[in-house]
Amino acid sequence: MSLELVRESAKINYTKGEQSSQTIIEHDIIVPDINPDVLRILVLDGEVIEKKSEVLQDKVSVRGVVRYKILYVSDDKDQSIKSINTSYEFSHIFDMENSNSKMNVRVKGDIEHIDYEILNSRKINVKTIVKLKAKVFSETEQSFVSELKGIEDLQVLRKNVDIYFYLGENTANYTLDEALEIPSGKPSIKEILRTDVKITGKDYKIADNKIIAKGDINILTLYIGDTEERSIEFMEHEMSFTQSLDFQGIDEDSECEIDYKIEDFFFSPEEDSEGELRILKSEVRVSIWAQARSKKNMEVISDAYSMRSKIDFETRLFKTNKVACQDKSQVILKEIVKINGESPSILEVFNVLSKSDLFESTISGNRVTIEGSLNTGILYVANNKEQPLFCHYSGIPFKHTVELDDVREGMDCEVDLEVEHCNFSVVSENEVEVRAIINVNTKVLDEIEYTLITEAFESEDRADTKDFASLTIYFSQPGDDLWKVAKKYLTTVEDVKKFNKIEEESLEEGKQIIIPRKI
């Protein structure tokens, strides 16, 4: 009989490369006609929304939008604080060696720094440094030999390997469309100045061939109250959401990677049943992306030989990634921020804008050390007639250590920071105590390589068996085991064990082994 091959196939997804890049976006923002002139800017910040990314030959192309939020002091005494919400589209191409159009990519963007200059009362020049990080994935269908049959004296060596079958990726969209009530005790809305939207409490579970993702949409709103004083007010709303993504074949042991992204949001004041603007009409669009792998322990062929015919192999190196370990922890910060002498003293704080920034994550021993900063903007009423409103910026650095098993240097560490909660209290006219909780999601990825047989060929009958002695005395060499010795002298592992009365597969260096001729 001739050699028969039994094959298995596996879809494998492998991180081909990661790259970071920066792009500088410079343009002018024109004050809308309905807005009064700009005297002084209180806050100018924003966020990056990635719209479309694709892989090219050795490059990654990104298109996105920077959404700017501006609070400024106007020349209108009746409308002293005004806002501008605008956006600017950008595109960027950066190098990614060994990439091609058949690969997939995930891109995350963030604002690293914004500089601005008021050119005149109707025009603001903005220069924004956007940092982009891309991860490119290669998806392939790999076929390998899982069993050999058809030859009577065939000797086969098998091994168990963990193969991570790629189940694919999926994207689901969730839209929050709610009428949010103004909290009791707060005045009606005269004008919305600023809204900040973030997703917290991210989590998921696996059930019935689905990933069920959940989270909380947190909405912070700064608005002018409909009072004679036109007071500046602040309110917070939070809504939970759940969204499922189909993944055929997924189970509780599968590895998942999930990314949440706010695609867009819109807010407007609406009248309640009594005709007052006490409803915040909210529309938030969230995109949830996920990919999954299913781990299967399989017995595969690692070597084989026959005593009457030669068998040749073709092999291939397989690469994949696995989650070595992951952890969820928190950083709790409590810091007194001092307003320096160049800024006016505080009468009342409206709000503290907060954003976390990751500087570096390093692996040493079984620890991941994370360094970052909580960047705050304290928006307050100042004790100064010339500058009645002010925003003081500061950074609160932190260092956080996570202890993990099965982690080692050289692994890929992914850290996601999110500000879950931030509040404040005024200590004095130039001091504010800031208290914050930062969620730290740490995931460490390991690269796996294993060689599998992709082809096997039976050649002509062996011509080398006539050179074998009827009895051979062999002294084991470094790295020998019974399989290597049996294959070399065309016998079987069981015969060598039986003749030498040994049980173990491994061999000590210099051990004497008697090998009878099998054929």
Q: 74-116, pLDDT tens digit by residue? A: 988 777 889 999 999 999 998 988 899 999 999 999 999 999 9
Please report the pLDDT score of residue 161 as a whole number: 86
Instruction: Select the more confidently predicted residue: 69 or 1.
Output: 69
Whole-number Å distance between alpha carbons of 261 and 284: 11
Architecture of domain 464-519: Roll (3.10)
| Spatial separation of the C-alpha atoms in residues 337 and 378, rounded to whole Å | 9
φ, ψ for residue 205 (rounded to 5)? -140, 165
Mean pLDDT over 425-441 rounds to 94
> Which of 72, 66, 84 lies closest to 26, judged by CA?
66
What's the average model confidence in pLDDT over 12-38? 92
Model confidence at 14: pLDDT above 60 = yes
**Residue 464: predicted pLDDT:** 58
The pLDDT, as a whole number, for residue 231 is 84
- Measure the CA–CA gap between 258 and 106, rounded to whole angstroms: 11
pLDDT at 488: 87
Is the CB of residue 267 less than 8 Å from the CB of residue 478? no
At residue 35, the pLDDT reads 93
CA distances in angstroms from 295 to 333, 414, 434, listed in the order given: 39, 21, 45
pLDDT at residue 508, rounded to an integer? 85
Residues of the chain above pLDDT 90, percent: 55
Of 61-65, 243-247, 380-384, 420-424, the least confident: 380-384
The stretch 463-490 carries a mean pLDDT of: 81
The residue ranges of every structural domain in the chain are 13-140, 168-296, 322-452, 464-519
Least confident of 50-59, 189-198, 443-452: 443-452
pLDDT of residue 162: 85
Average pLDDT, the chain: 90
pLDDT at 489 over 80: yes
- Decide if 312 contacts 361 (C-beta within 8 A): no
Task: Give the Cα separation of 135 and 214 in Å (integer).
Answer: 24
What pTM did the predictor assign? 0.83
Task: Give the confidence band of 463 by pLDDT, cuts at 50, 70, 90.
Answer: low
- Is there a contact between 516 and 495 (Cβ–Cβ < 8 Å)? yes
Q: Which is more confidently placed, 324 or 341?
A: 324
- The whole-number pLDDT of residue 57 equals 94
φ/ψ of 464, rounded to 5, equals: -95, 0
Band (67; pLDDT cuts 50, 70, 90): very high
Give the model's confidence band at 123: pLDDT under 50 very low, under 70 low, under 90 confident, else very high: very high
Q: Pairing state of beta strands 412-428 and 81-95?
A: unpaired
Note every long-range contact of 79-83, with CB atoms under 8 Å and residues 24 or more positions apart, other chains counting. 79/36, 79/191, 79/230, 80/388, 80/389, 81/42, 81/193, 81/224, 81/232, 81/389, 82/35, 82/36, 82/193, 83/191, 83/192, 83/193, 83/194
| Residue carrying structure tokens 């917070």 | 236
